[in-house]
A and B are shown apart, each in its own frame.
Chain A
Amino acid sequence: MIDPDAELVRSAGAGDAHAAEALVRRHLPRMVGLARRMLNDAVEAEDVAQEVFLRVWREAPRWRPGLAKFETWMHRVALNLCYDRLRRRREKPDADAGLSVADPTPLASDAWLARQRAAKVQAALAALPDRQRAAIALVHFQDMSNIAAAEMLDVSVEALESLLARGRRALKAALADVAQDLLGDADGAARM
C-alpha cells in the first residue's frame, strides 16, 4: 500500500515546517468540509479540524506507514470527534440550536437563493442518522471510493451501500423542490 502522505508526515514529525504546511494545505479544507457536513456548524467544524491536526502533530513523530493510510486515519479521527460532539448535543440540547439569525444585509437575489438552498440541504443532511450522513459526506462530498469510505466507517462495502441508499432516499424526499429548481435553472440556462 503506497501512502502519498507518508513522507510528509515523517518530515513534519521531525520538525520540517514546509512538510507541515503541505499537510495542512492538502487536508485542512477536507477536514473542515467533512466536519461541517457532519455538524452543520462552521465554528464547531473548524474546532474539529484543529483538534484533528493537533492529534496529527502528536502522532507524526511516531507515525508508522503500513497500518492504515494516513488519510484514512485522519478521517476516522475527524468522524469520531464529530460523533462525540453530536452525542453531547443530544445529551445537552441547546435551546437555540437550529434557529437561524436573520441576516440584516440585503443580498442580491441569486446569492440569497443560493444561501437558502444551501441551508435547506444542510438541514436535510442534519436530519439524517449520523452514520448515513457520514457515508454521504465521505462518498459524495469527500469523493472517497467505496472501499476507502467503508474502511473509514469500519463497515463492509455492502453495509456502506445500504447506509448510502437509505440516506439518499431520505434526502430525495426532503429536497425534491430544491432539486427540481436547480435542474430547472440548469435546463433554462442551457436553452438560452
Chain B
Amino acid sequence: MNTAINIENISKSFPGVLANDSVSFDIISGTIHAIVGENGAGKSTLMKILYGMQKPDNGFLKINGDIAKFQSPKDAISAGIGMVHQHFMLADNLTVWENIVLGIDSSNLSKIKKSKYIPDITDLSKKYSLPIDVNLTIDDLGVGEKQRVEILKVLYRGANILILDEPTAVLVPQEVEELFENLKNLVSQGVTILFISHKLDEVMEIADRISVMRGGQHVGTVSKETASKKILAEMMIGKDLPTPPSRETLISSENCLQLKDLRGEPSLGKIPFEDINLEIKKGEICGIAGVEGNGQRELSEAILGLYPVESGQIFLEDIEITKLSTRERRLTGISFIPEDRQSQGLVVESNLVENIILGKQSSNTYSSKFKNVLFKNASKNSKDVVDNYEVKTPNVQTLALALSGGNQQKFVVGREIDGKPTFLLASQPTRGVDIGAQALIWDKLKEARDMGLGVLLISADLDELLGLSDKLYVIYEGKLVKQLEPTEATPEQLGSYMTGLGI
C-alpha cells in the first residue's frame, strides 16, 4: 500500500484560534478517504493547506513520498492535487470543453483550437466513465453534471488526488448515487479521493477510511470495517462530557419565550422546521443540540422575524410577536448573538461606538425623541462593554475589524447582554474563539441567566450545551426529536439523536 499523502504534524493558527493542532495522518493511494467533523473542526483549513491556499505554521506534507512545500494552488496542481469546490467555479455561458481548457492554453492571442482539445476531453470522459456532451453550455447542465465537469476539469490538469469539499451538499439523492458510482470508478483507476463531509451516512457508504477532526485536532482514523455511525458520532462530539455544575435553581415561573406549533415556510421544497414547541422561563437557559443544517438557522431567523413562519405562534412574555417586524421584536427586548459575528453581528468597517448601537438603533437608549442618534450613550456603553467584557482594543474608536475574533465576539456578547434584554437568542456564541474568551462568555451567560434572563442557546458544542443548559433538546431534520436532562445525557445518547438514529 502506497501512501498518497502524509500529513505530518500540521499546525495552523489564526488570531485567537488554533485551526489545526498537530494534525497527522496518512491517505492511502487509490482509496476514498473521508474527513468528517463539525463546522469549525478544522477540516477546511486542512484542505486549504493541502491545496496550497494556506501555508502551515508547523509541520509538512509528503505527496507520494516527497516533501511538498506549496506556495500556491499552482504548486499543488502540478503535484497532482485537484480540488472540486462546493461552489462550482464554472463560466456559465461557455461550453463544457471551453470550461475544461479555461486557463490552460497559454498561447494568449491565438484562437483556442477546438480540434486540439475535444478528442482529449472525450477520451478522458470515457476513460473515467464520466459521460458528458462537451459541446453543451454550462447553463444547460444540471447540478450533477456541472459537478462532473468540475471533476473532469481537475483530471484534465493531471490530478490523481482529488479533494471534494462537501460534494453532496448541492445534490439530490439520485445525483448522490451517481456521484458515488463515479467516484468508485475513479478509485478503481488509481485515483485517490479525499471526501469532506459531515454527513455520516454518506461517509459510511462511500469511504474506505475515515478521519475525524474535532476542535482543530485529529481525533482518529478508522477503516470502514471497524467504523459505525455511532462510533463516528462519538468521535466527532467527544467522549468526556463535562458534568454540569450543580446550582440553585433560579428558574422563575414567568414565561419568557414560547413557541407554539411553529412551522417554517418550505423553501426549495423542504420544510426547514416543524412542530416546534418550546417554553423558556425567565432565568432559564434552554439548549438546542444538533448537527448543523438541521433547521437551527431557519428557526433562529424565524424568532427574529427574518424567516417566514407558515403556522404557529411566538410569544414573548405572553405577548404574541409572530406578526411583528424584526425591528419591533428588537424593541420589545429580543437580543441576538449571531453565529457569524463578522457578517451578521458587526459592521466591521465601523468603530465600536457605532457597533454598540447596532440592533438598538431605534431604542430609547440610542435614539432621541427626534430620531437623532445619541452618540453620548453609545460612547459610554461601548466603554462599559469593553471594560466589563475584557475586550482588548486600543479604544472604542477602533474599527471592529481590527479586533481579533475572540475580542469581537466578547464585544457582541456584551452588547447583546447589556441593557436588560427580555430574551436572548444565542447561536453558537463561542464558535471559533479562544479558550479565554470562551470561558468569559460562558460566565457572562450564566450571570445573565441568574439575573433572570431567558436564553435559547443553539450550539453544536456539547461542552457548552451541557455546561450551561437547564434543559436540553435535540434538533434533527427540523424537529425537536428528544428532550434530555443535561445532567443525565450521555454522549452516546446525544450522538445518536443528533445523527437521527434514535435509541
Indicate whether A and B interact.
no
